[in-house]
């Protein structure tokens, strides 16, 4: 396939979902494509095809740091899942949630007129930045690609922030800006990772995709990824790796806990704890895990 043919095929593949009346006009991906492009996820999905990582896994990711997630992702071949350099509003407990994506581009009148017309047909209410809020579910984190725009790039103020938190009980990540920070700070529990703040309203942009792949800095983000925010930045974990990140992190914490206990009790030296454990040490550790009620076990080899 030559470059021209490939380009035409790509345009057609993106345009097809827009032409099919069975799918939302704004989505560049159909339900079938969301499933196709997340082939390693074999669990539950939302009606639009977005992976639905269980709440029980999300709860276990609350203690995961960027470093701990990084190790698992790197080993699995996912090299571009972290982005730092954020301003955080309402920092507190770690931000963890299922990603809902939204892509904005600089406004082009002819394209935006079609987007607004299609939104009207779909009974979408209000401005385009409010359309993405309507689809949020509890546990979701809205991730917005606003191409780093600050002035006139404020995706929400305190009113829409209140709406986001009421729908998702979770936070917002925007490669752009927000406004009305004083009001946002009064929404307790609503964490915002943003590039900046500005008093201007959102202007000169258009919404070109909901729950489609997007780029946030150096990270590629898919709908259904798990966003984990910590003081270092945001890690976007593919859904199929979420449980492994939780398992490996929990095991690391348990290893540290048992090792520190052994050092305090003088049963092993620092050299023994920091080196490869003997089969006897592993057996003792697994017995301690069982007594503790953990289902995890360390392989004896």
SS (H, E, C) the chain: CCHHHHHHHHHHHHHHHHHCCCCCCCCCCCHHHHHHCCCCCCCCECCCCCECCCHHHHHHHHHCCHHHHHHHHHHCCCCCCEECCCEEECCCCCEEEEEEEEEEEECCHHHHHHHHHHHHHCCCCCCHHHHCCCCCCCCEEEEEECCCCCCCCECCCHHHHHHHHHHHCCCEEEEEEECCHHHHCCCCCCCEEEEEECCCCCCCEEEEEECCCEEECCEEECCCCEEEEECCEEEEECHHHHHHHHHHHHHHHHHHHHHHHHHHHCCCCHHHHHCCCCHHHHHHHHHHHHHHCCCCCCCCC
Residue with the larger pLDDT of the pair 14 and 298? 298
Encode pLDDT of 140-160 as tens digits: 999 999 999 999 999 999 999
- Label residue 173 by pLDDT band (50, 70, 90): very high
Same structural domain, 130 and 273: no
- pLDDT at residue 184, rounded to an integer: 98
**pLDDT greater at residue 23 or residue 166:** 166
| Claim to verify: residue 51 and residue 129 sit in the same structural domain | yes
87 and 158 share one domain: yes
pTM: 0.84
Which of 224, 239, 254 delimits the end of a domain?
A: 239
Q: How confident is the model at residue 182 (pLDDT cuts 50, 70, 90)?
A: very high
Q: Is 165 a domain residue?
A: yes
Pairing outcome for strands 205-210 and 95-106? antiparallel
Beta bridge pairs of residue 177: 154, 196
> What does the radius of gyration of the chain's CA atoms come to, in whole angstroms?
22
Q: Is residue 253 part of a domain?
A: yes
Does residue 266 sit within a domain? yes
Average the pLDDT over 127-146 and give the result: 95
Domain limit, last residue, from 194, 218, 239: 239
Q: Which domain holds residue 251?
A: 242-292
Q: Examine the domain organization and report whether 152 and 261 are in the same domain.
A: no
Assign 8 a pLDDT band (cuts: 50, 70, 90).
Answer: very low
Residues 202, 98: one domain?
Answer: yes
Q: What average pLDDT does the segment 241-245 reach?
A: 97
Q: Are residues 174 and 251 in the same domain?
A: no
**CATH code of 123's domain:** 3.50.30.40
CA distance 209 to 87: 25
Whole-number pLDDT of residue 87: 98
Total domains, the chain: 2
Residues 234-242, mean pLDDT to the nearest whole number? 98
Is residue 18 in a domain?
Answer: no
Q: What is residue 283's predicted lDDT score, i.e. its pLDDT?
A: 92
Q: Is the pLDDT of residue 100 over 90?
A: yes
Q: What is the pLDDT of residue 26?
A: 61
Rounded distance between C-alpha atoms, residue 37 and residue 57, angstroms: 22
* Same domain assignment for residues 126 and 177: yes
- pLDDT at residue 252 greater than cutoff 90: no
Asked if 150 and 254 sit in the same domain, the reply is no
Whether residue 235 lies inside any domain: the answer is yes
For residue 182, CA distances in Å to 129, 157, 188, 265, 293 come to: 20, 10, 12, 51, 45
Residue 5 has pLDDT above 50, yes or no: no
pLDDT greater than 70 at residue 7:
no
Same domain for 51 and 151, yes or no, is yes
32-36, 120-124, 146-150, 219-223 — which is least confidently predicted?
120-124
218 with 190, same domain: the answer is yes
Confidence at 15, pLDDT banded by 50, 70, 90: very low
**pLDDT of the residue at 23:** 38
Q: Is residue 301 part of a domain?
A: no
Q: What average pLDDT does the segment 55-69 reach?
A: 94
| Predicted local confidence at residue 27, as pLDDT | 66
Look at residues 201, 223, 239 and tell me which one is the last residue of a structural domain: 239
What's the confidence (pLDDT) of residue 4? 36
Burial status of residue 109 (CB atoms within 10 A of its CB: 0-12, 13-18, 19 or more): exposed
Q: CA-to-CA distance for 120 and 234, rounded, in angstroms?
A: 34
Instruction: Give the pLDDT of residue 295.
Output: 86
Please report which confidence band the pLDDT of residue 251 belongs to, taking 50, 70 and 90 as the band edges: confident
> Could you tell me if 233 and 158 are in contact, meaning their C-beta atoms sit under 8 angstroms apart?
no
């Amino acid at each position: 396939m030559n470059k021209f043919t490939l380009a035409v095929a790509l345009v057609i593949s993106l345009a097809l979902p827009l032409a099919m009346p069975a799918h939302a006009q704004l989505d560049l991906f159909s339900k079938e494509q969301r499933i196709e492009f997340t082939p390693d996820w074999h669990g539950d999905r939302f009606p639009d095809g977005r992976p639905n990582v269980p709440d029980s896994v999300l709860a276990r990711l609350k203690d995961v740091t960027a470093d701990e997630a990084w190790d698992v992702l790197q080993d699995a071949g996912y090299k571009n899942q972290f982005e730092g350099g954020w301003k955080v509003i309402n920092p507190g407990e770690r931000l963890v949630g299922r990603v809902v994506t939204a892509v904005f581009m600089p406004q082009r009148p002819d394209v935006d007129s079609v987007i607004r017309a299609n939104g009207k047909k779909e009974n979408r209410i209000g401005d385009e930045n409010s359309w993405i809020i309507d689809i949020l579910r509890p546990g979701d984190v809205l991730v917005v690609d606003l191409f780093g725009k600050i002035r006139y790039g404020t995706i929400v103020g305190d009113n829409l922030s209140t709406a986001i938190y009421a729908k998702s009980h979770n936070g917002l990540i925007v490669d752009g800006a927000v406004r009305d920070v004083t009001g946002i700070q009064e929404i307790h529990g609503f964490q915002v990772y943003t590039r900046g703040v500005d008093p201007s309203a959102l202007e000169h942009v258009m919404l070109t995709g909901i729950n489609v792949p997007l780029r946030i800095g150096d990270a590629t983000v898919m709908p259904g990824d798990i966003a984990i925010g910590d003081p270092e930045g945001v890690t976007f974990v593919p859904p199929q790796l979420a449980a492994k990140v939780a398992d490996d992190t929990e095991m690391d914490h348990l290893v540290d806990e048992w090792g520190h206990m052994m050092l305090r009790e003088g049963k092993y030296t620092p050299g023994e704890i920091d080196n490869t454990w003997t089969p006897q040490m592993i057996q003792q550790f697994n017995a301690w895990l069982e007594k503790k009620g953990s289902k995890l076990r360390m392989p004896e080899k």
